[in-house]
Amino acid sequence: MRALRLLAIVLALAIALLAARAVTLPSRQIAVPPAPRLALDEAAIVERFAASIRFPTISTSTDPATVPVADFQAFQRWLAESYPRLHGSLTLERVSEHSLLYTWPGTNPALEPVILLAHQDVVPAADEARWTHPPFAGAVADGFVWGRGTIDDKSAVVAACEAVELLLARGFAPARTVMLAFGHDEEVGGAHGAQQIVALLASRGVRAAFVIDEGLAIVTGGAVPLLDRPAALVGIAEKGSVTLEVIAKAAGGHSSTPPRTTAAGILARAIQRIEASPFPGGIGPVTGGFFEFLAPELPFVARVPLGNLWLFGKPLDWALSRSPAGNALLRTTTAVTMLSGSPKENVLPSQAVATVNFRILPGDTTESVLGYVRDLVAGDEVEVRFKGPGRDPSPVSPTDTPAFALLHRTIEEVFPDAVVAPGLVLGGTDSRHFSEITPNVYRFAPFRYDGDDLKRPHGIDERMSIEGYLDGVRFYVRLLENASGAFEAP
């Protein structure tokens, strides 16, 4: 009985300790008063946004010969006509013919510049008959601007231009140089756009204070479970990507006299082994930071596990891994996407090939993925090789710097109801190229999206709410005001 009483006391103390830690979690939010709501010529701003969508600046290939030159030229002429102060005051350089680099010189050249990054190109719009409004009509209806690029990523291009135009009209002169970098091929990797802009800046010895690009945004409508407020998610890293080919070879021939094992059977066993052996995961630095910022704002029932990851880390890993989205945040993911074998049903394949795509968590690399898969199938008589070049994950940008604090504070000023938290971008953006010139690369689109909106980029009925777009313009104005001089320590 004495041992049981002692055990009960220990358990009670442990529970009390967990509860106390949950109750006393310090908030990571910045307490600042909301910025005065900036008055805008809303009708004119919305019409310009809608007009930008009417230019089909589509990327379909890494081959520069496929660029729709006339559409990009028309869009860029429209930019010059729509934002005359910007084009009269900022220096414009063209990179790889179609990418744009604007420079607004600051009054203090000793300060590192800030870079607002966005891309002009969009993906094609399939199934046009299924769209509520034609994808390149730039329709304004039901409180939204509709069309390809409203979310990804013309909204950021023109909102940044609106902000600069407004500040110039008010006679604002930044102490810190501001750069606008608008690539033209982000949707196919950015090799000729953002990557060349970075090469140009690096050749000049430019070091940026920070870069802001698309990636994550403000999600509403319960997109973050148990959070009753919008979540302003700032991407501090993005996953890498690599595709491997798994190849099995065997004697071909007629299917009437098959061997005991065909190339297709050998391949099937290897694929089963790969799918049954996911990469090790867990709550790493990026996802851990997300929970650290988020946990103090959640109900007590969620603060207990999230505030005690040393104890609940493995159960949370198990629980989150049950969903595809949660699993993608925790580990390098495996997706078997293509299979090929015999060209005819009665011909034995002499070679069977599986194409497997991996989205790589920070901490892993393309080489480590290749090694992991080769070890998995070492006894299966298959070859594993790269299918083209991959890309490693981006570096993880810090959240304890003056640059992140400035971004955080600006979000709180413009979106005072939002909870700010760092996060992981599962796809790829142009921003990954900019880690060469700054460690402070942040992926945040200042627009509100609900769960339904998150399905629209690259899909049918892409759209942006008018109210959300106008607040995005206000955000860029406030960001440039806050970034003008020296940054405060966090």
Alpha helices in 26-153, H assignment, sequence order: 42-53, 69-82, 84-89
Which amino acid makes up residue 402? P
Query: 185 is in which domain, residue-wise?
Result: 42-238+393-482
For the chain, percent of residues with pLDDT exceeding 90: 80
Q: What is the pTM of this model?
A: 0.93
What is the reported pLDDT for 93? 98
144 and 225 share one domain: yes
What are residue 398's phi and psi, to 5 degrees? Answer: -75, 155
312 and 196 share one domain: no
Please confirm, yes or no, whether 453 is among the known catalytic residues: no
- Using an 8 Å Cβ cutoff, are 255 and 343 in contact? no
For residue 1, give every residue at least 6 positions away whose Cβ sits within 8 Å of its Cβ, in sequence order, or none.
none
Please confirm, yes or no, whether 412 is among the known catalytic residues: no
Q: What is the DSSP code (8-state) at residue 394?
A: P
Pairing status of strand 419-425 against strand 231-238: parallel
Q: Which of 201, 222, 212, 209 is nearest to 103 (CA)?
A: 201
pLDDT in tens, 365-418: 999 999 999 999 998 789 999 998 999 999 999 999 999 999 999 999 999 999
Q: What is the DSSP code (8-state) at residue 193?
A: T
**CA torsion sign, 284 to 287 to 289 to 293?**
negative
H or E element: which one contains 5?
helix 2-23
322 and 207 share one domain: no
- As given in the structure block, the two tokens for residue 201 are 């800046």
Given 364, 386, 408, the domain boundary residue is 386
pLDDT in tens, 314-369: 888 888 899 998 999 999 999 999 999 999 999 999 999 999 999 999 999 999 99
Rounded mean pLDDT, 205-219: 97
pLDDT in tens, 213-246: 999 999 997 788 889 999 999 999 999 999 999 9
CA 211, CA 236: separation in Å to the nearest integer?
A: 11
368 and 432 share one domain: no
Q: What is the DSSP code (8-state) at residue 124?
A: -
Rounded mean pLDDT, 108-134: 96
What is the reported pLDDT for 113? 97
What is the reported pLDDT for 214? 97
86 and 231 share one domain: yes
Confidence of residue 260 (pLDDT cuts 50, 70, 90): confident
- As given in the structure block, the two tokens for residue 480 are 């440039």
Rounded mean pLDDT, 129-141: 97
Is position 144 within any domain? yes
Mean residue pLDDT of the chain comes to 93
469 and 349 share one domain: no
75 and 188 share one domain: yes
Rounded mean pLDDT, 272-283: 93
Confidence of residue 313 (pLDDT cuts 50, 70, 90): confident
Confidence of residue 12 (pLDDT cuts 50, 70, 90): low
Given 386, 417, 437, the domain boundary residue is 386
Least confident piece of the model among 84-93, 131-140, 281-290, 312-321: 312-321
Residue among 112, 162, 186, 462 flagged as catalytic: 186
